[in-house]
Amino acid sequence: MKDALEPLFRPKSVALIGASANPSKLSHIALRNLSKGKFRLYPVNPRETEILGLRCYPSVLDVPDPIDLAVVSLPASLSVEATKECVRKGVRAVVVTSSGFRESGPEGAGLEQALVESIKGTPTRILGPNTMGILVPSIGLDTLFIPKERSGRPGAGQIAMLSQSGAVSVSFLEKAAASSTGISSCVGLGNKCDIEENELLRYFSKDIETKCVALYLESFSYGREFLEIARPMTRHKPIVLLKSGRTESGSKAAGLHTGAIAKSSDRLIDCALRQVGVIRAYDEEELIDLAKALAYVGHIKGDRICVVASAGGYGVIAADLVESRERGAGLRMAELSDRTQRELRGVMPDFSSTSNPVDLTAGVSDEMYDSVLGILQKDPGVDAIMMSLELQPPNVTKGLIKVAESRYASGKVPIVISAFGGDYLDEMLGEFENRGVPAYPSIWRAVRALGALARRGEYLRRMK
């Protein structure tokens, strides 16, 4: 199954059918984005001889070399014939970006059926239609028709993102880029006339570059098959899912968007997903927050959390969010052993609190953070540490990045960071991300990530 999709993710040659020389056209933007990739690129347009310094061909059939991947950027009415030519050329993967298919009504549904018929009995596969396509940062494969200067692209990383909505995938990519979170791939599912989420899950379950899969779905192509794939996959690779269409209004909106059928009871869906270990998210911010925690940490062994802060108020807020089941993660605050508290008193100011939450006060330094984290990681009653990092104290420096990295990499108790610090903040958060340490700009987002790690840990223990 992976071999069948390899031309989609690792093409050696790409053709853009419908490439335009007009800088304002979407197909010109896509060509510009593709021109930076690590593959041979062939623009196709019968009215042009050259675009962006690349020779242009009248048809994909006129390209003298084999083509692994073709991106069809033409109106729906012309896309069927272009796909047929790709089949005749022997193209293994075709991305059809245009809308106007099943989601637009009976006439569009007929065109989509014609797309499906065009590849029957052939090795050619279709992604889409009605999709923004695919992004693979490691090889510069970028079929998106949005300018990079308007919409940031993340670098290479460990998260694969599959989305039935172009806007949701773009939001995910922008948030990932802004927080320096890398991705292995981003795939727009569109109408799923051929390639759908189940086949892609199988592909990413074996992909060594992907540590976590994040999905946005409006409908399941084959729900029972999804669960059958997810059950063994989640034992070694986490899946986090944002499933929309949970309400009657949301279900109707999904039908208008991608022609999706999303009427299954959300309560039944939730129960089924829990049984196979899929972690649910409920908005686009939570989707990426949980995905990066699951990719970097995987899981935590229990639900006992120790909060470390240099501001008492933040520690109290964190404690409430850790324990509360109505307005929090429903976890437990760890009870620190007498030995741990004695050791903490040896490295902390006399007036600071050595119980949980641990309050380092404004006199905190990089060295104090290092010592405290080392002591807490030895306590058998602590399953994870939420480090509330305040960057304002005078003795806190960028040296904390190395402190957190070394403590995180020790293989002992995992650390999740929340940080506060004005203009200084984004740079620090980016540095943590570059080192694979999950870091968030708010306490709640960090605690919520710990909740997902605890749920996954509970699932893995149950499976054993």
CA–chain centroid gap for 62, Å, is 38
What gap in Å lies between CA 36 and CA 41, rounded to an integer?
A: 9
Q: At what angle do helices 366-376 and 338-345 cross, to 10 degrees?
A: 170
Map the chain to HEC letters: CHHHHHHHHCCCEEEEECCCCCCCCHHHHHHHHHCCCCCEEEEECCCCCEECCEECECCHHHCCCCCCEEEECCCHHHHHHHHHHHHHHCCCEEEECCCCCHHHCHHHHHHHHHHHHHCCCCCCEEECCCCCCEEEHHHCEECCCCCCCCCCCCCEEEEEEEECCHHHHHHHHHHHHHCCCCEEEEEECCCCCCCCHHHHHHHHHHCCCCCEEEEEECCCCCHHHHHHHHHHHCCCCCEEEEECCCCHHHHHHHHHHHCCCCCCCHHHHHHHHHHCCCEEECCHHHHHHHHHHHHHCCCCCCCEEEEEECCHHHHHHHHHHHHCCCCCCCCEECCCCHHHHHHHHCCCCCCCECCCCEECCCCCCHHHHHHHHHHHCCCCCCCEEEEEEECCCCCCCCHHHHHHHHHHCCCCCCEEEEEECCHHHHHHHHHHHHCCCCEECCHHHHHHHHHHHHHHHHHHHHHC
What gap in Å lies between CA 31 and CA 51, rounded to an integer?
A: 9
Per-residue pLDDT of the chain (464 residues; tens, 9 = 90+): 447 999 999 999 999 999 999 999 999 999 999 999 999 999 999 999 999 999 999 999 999 999 999 999 999 999 999 999 999 999 999 999 999 999 999 999 999 999 999 999 999 999 999 999 999 999 999 999 999 999 999 999 999 999 999 999 999 999 999 999 999 999 999 999 999 999 999 999 999 999 999 999 999 999 999 999 999 999 999 999 999 987 665 455 545 444 444 455 788 899 999 999 999 999 999 999 999 999 999 999 999 999 999 888 999 999 999 999 989 999 999 999 999 999 999 999 888 889 999 999 888 899 999 999 999 999 999 999 999 988 888 888 888 888 988 988 887 899 999 998 777 788 889 889 988 899 999 999 999 999 999 999 999 999 98
Per-residue pLDDT at 399: 87
CA–chain centroid gap for 71, Å, is 23
Q: Walk across the sheet containing 212-217 and list its strands.
A: 141-142, 134-136, 183-188, 156-163, 212-217, 239-243, 279-281
* Alpha carbons within 13 A on the beta-carbon side of 282: 8
Nearest residue to 131 via CA among 96, 169, 159, 167? 96
Query: Cα dihedral sign for 186, 189, 195, 197?
Result: positive
Question: Which tokens in the block code for residue 186?
Answer: 């981003």
Using only the alpha carbons of the chain, give its radius of gyration. 25
What gap in Å lies between CA 15 and CA 62, rounded to an integer?
A: 11
Q: What global pTM score does this model have? A: 0.92
Q: Which domains does the chain have, with CATH numbers?
A: 1-128 (3.40.50.720), 151-296 (3.40.50.261), 299-463 (3.40.50.261)
Per-residue pLDDT at 390: 83
**Is 52 exposed, middle or buried (CB count within 10 Å of its CB: 0-12, 13-18, 19+)?**
middle
CB contact set of 48 (below 8 Å; sequence gap of 6+): 19, 20, 21, 56
The answer to whether 18 touches 77, Cβ cutoff 8 Å, is no
Amino acid 259 reads G
Question: Which tokens in the block code for residue 225?
Answer: 């098959």
CB contact set of 139 (below 8 Å; sequence gap of 6+): 10, 37, 38, 39
What gap in Å lies between CA 235 and CA 239, rounded to an integer?
A: 10
Per-residue pLDDT at 408: 85
CB contact set of 176 (below 8 Å; sequence gap of 6+): 154, 157, 159, 182, 183, 288
